Amino acid sequence: MRASRVFSPSGDELVVDEARQRHRVSPASREKAARAGAAFGLICVSALLIGLGETPGPEQWLAIGMLTLVFAIASMIEFEAGPGSAVPTQLAFVPMLYFVPAAFIPLCVAAGFVLGVGPALARGRFPADRLLGLAGSAWFAVGSALAIVAFRPPEPTLADVGWLGALVAIQVGTELATTTTREYAALGSRPDSLLRPIAWASMVDILLTPVAVATVISTGGWYAGLVTLPLLALLSVFARERRARMDNAIELSTAYRGTAYLLGDVVEADDAYTGMHSRDVLELTLAVCDRLGMSSTERRRAEFTALLHDVGKIRIPPEIINKAGPLDENEWALMKTHTVEGERMLNGVGGLLGDVGSLVRSCHERIDGAGYPDGLEGDEIPLISRVVMACDAYNAMVTDRSYRAARGSSEAVAELYAHAGTQFDSNVVDAIAAVVE
- State pLDDT tens for residues 95-124: 999 999 999 999 999 999 999 999 988 888
Q: Count of CB atoms within 10 A of residue 125's CB?
A: 12
C-alpha to C-alpha distance for 437 and 429, rounded to whole angstroms: 12
C-alpha to C-alpha distance for 379 and 367, rounded to whole angstroms: 8
Element (H, E) at 298: helix 296-308
What are residue 84's DSSP bridge partners? 81
Q: What pLDDT was estimated at residue 251?
A: 64
The arithmetic mean of pLDDT across residues 141-156, rounded, is 94
Cβ neighbours for 269, distance < 8 A, ≥ 6 positions apart = 275
Per-residue pLDDT at 424 exceeds 60 = yes
What are residue 404's DSSP bridge partners? 401
Degrees (nearest 5) of the Cα angle 312, 421, 339? 10
Domain limits, the chain:
2-227, 250-436
Task: Give the Å distances, CA to CA, from 342 to 39, 51, 54, 60, 356.
Answer: 53, 70, 73, 69, 10
Element (H, E) at 286: helix 272-292
When comparing pLDDT for 158 and 276, which is higher? 158
Contact, 46 vs 107, CB < 8 A?
A: yes
DSSP labels for 404-416?
BPPPPHHHHHHHH
For residue 12, give the amino acid letter. D
Superfamily of domain 250-436: Hypothetical protein af1432 (1.10.3210.10)
Structure pTM? 0.65
C-alpha to C-alpha distance for 223 and 340, rounded to whole angstroms: 67
Of 131, 139, 138, the residue nearest 36 (C-alpha): 131
Edge-to-edge strand ranges of the sheet holding 2-3: 2-3, 84-87, 79-81
Contact, 102 vs 56, CB < 8 A?
A: no
Q: Would you state the CATH architecture of domain 2-227?
A: Orthogonal Bundle (1.10)
When comparing pLDDT for 180 and 320, which is higher? 180
Q: Count of CB atoms within 10 A of residue 193's CB?
A: 17
C-alpha to C-alpha distance for 101 and 107, rounded to whole angstroms: 11
pLDDT in tens, 281-290: 888 999 999 9
When comparing pLDDT for 82 and 77, which is higher? 77
pLDDT in tens, 198-227: 888 888 899 999 999 999 999 988 888 899
The arithmetic mean of pLDDT across residues 27-41, rounded, is 88
C-alpha to C-alpha distance for 84 and 9, rounded to whole angstroms: 9
DSSP labels for 85-132?
EEE-THHHHHHHHHHS-GGGHHHHHHHHHHHHTHHHHHTT-S-GGGHH
Confidence tier at 400 by pLDDT (50, 70, 90): low
pLDDT in tens, 346-366: 888 777 778 889 999 999 999
